[in-house]
Amino acid sequence: MGNTLFKTGTRYRKGETIIRINASEYTASVQSAKSNLYNELTSIMPDLRLDYPDIYPKWQKYLSSYDLDKSTPELPEMTDEKEKFFISGRGILGSYYNVKNLEQRLSKYRISAPFDGVLTEALVTEGTLVRSGQKLGEFINTEVYELEVAVSKAFSDLLKVGEKVALSNLTKTKTYEGTVARINGRVDQASQTIKAFIEVNDNTLREGMYLEANLDAREEPDAIEIDRNLLQENNQIFVVRDSILDLIDVKPVYFSDKRVVLKEVPDGTVIMAKPLLGAYTGMAVKIFEDTTTKTEG
């Protein structure tokens, strides 16, 4: 572990160690590979002195500065073709890149904070056995939050990167200002919506909070708004005809996290106000005025 306990809610500064995994066994294999490279370099020095006296000094200098306890320095620049063939033929290049690969993997045994943030999930504690591919926790940036919204493709022309967006919590007691950061270039085939991502910065926000986004949009005549969970697959909703359930096709034009705006719903149609478990076409139902919703003409 790092200097600070790896626990949910702990804050870390950029560059601070979040977690350190015991790498003693892997460190030994890295040191072994570095030692092999050092031995290979030592073995070619006599031949370099005899056959390539002009390049011998720079390789001797490199060998003298080689420290097994430090990161392996970059090999001297090889400008002569004969020098490249000689060094490569002795296996120096292969050993060098093997060592650098091992060193790179060793550095991942220490995870440092890429930004100022807070640990929101900790799945290991000190002494826990860590396996390859195992999730250790979750670390988030508390400076900037991102809200994903789905907008009907009919309103895609209203979305622009950099546009300001008014946001509010679900109780309408707090407002925020966000900015459209990214817009997905693909339309979701199932819902026919486009996903946009809004960045918002406020120290009162918390990960997982629900927010509503208010976009400047055009009016949609002859449209109704219902709970999103009433919309069935293939853009259909249940309606009541002579006390019998039936499905009709509708046209969704806008989605929020809980609501959907629909068009092409005939005037006077009686629709379900709440989802009915096990509902099916032809099911007999009884209408109650206080639990049904009618479209307005």
Residues 6+ positions from 187 with CB-CB distance below 8 Å: 153, 193, 194
What whole-number distance in Å separates Cα of residue 118 and Cα of residue 111?
14
Look at residues 201, 191, 117, 202 and name the one whose alpha carbon lies nearest to residue 149: 191
Confidence of residue 290 (pLDDT cuts 50, 70, 90): low
For residue range 89-138, list pLDDT tens digits in order: 989 999 999 999 999 999 989 999 998 889 999 999 888 888 888 999 99
CATH 2.40.30.170 placement within the chain:
145-214
Query: Among all chains, which residue has been given the structure tokens 């702990």?
Result: 10
145-152, strands of its sheet edge to edge = 145-152, 193-200, 175-187, 164-169, 211-214
Share of the chain above pLDDT 90, in %: 24
Assessment of whether the complete model's pTM goes beyond 0.75: no
**pLDDT digits over 41-87, tens only?**
999 999 989 888 888 999 999 999 999 889 999 999 988 888 889 99
pLDDT(287) > 60: yes
Classify domain 145-214 at the CATH superfamily level.
Efflux pump adaptor protein, beta barrel domain (2.40.30.170)
CA-CA distance, 224 to 239, in Å (whole number)? 14
pLDDT in tens, 198-207: 999 888 888 8
Distance of CA 113 to the CA centre of its chain: 16
Query: For 222-257, what is each residue's pLDDT tens digit?
Result: 788 888 888 888 888 888 888 888 888 888 877 766
Closest CA to 227 of 253, 191, 256, 196: 256
In the chain, count H helices and then E strands: 4, 17
Supply the DSSP symbol for 274.
Answer: S
Please give the Cα distance from 168 to 165 (Å, whole number): 10
Give me the pLDDT at residue 256, please. Answer: 67
Confidence of residue 29 (pLDDT cuts 50, 70, 90): very high
pLDDT score of 291 more than 50: no
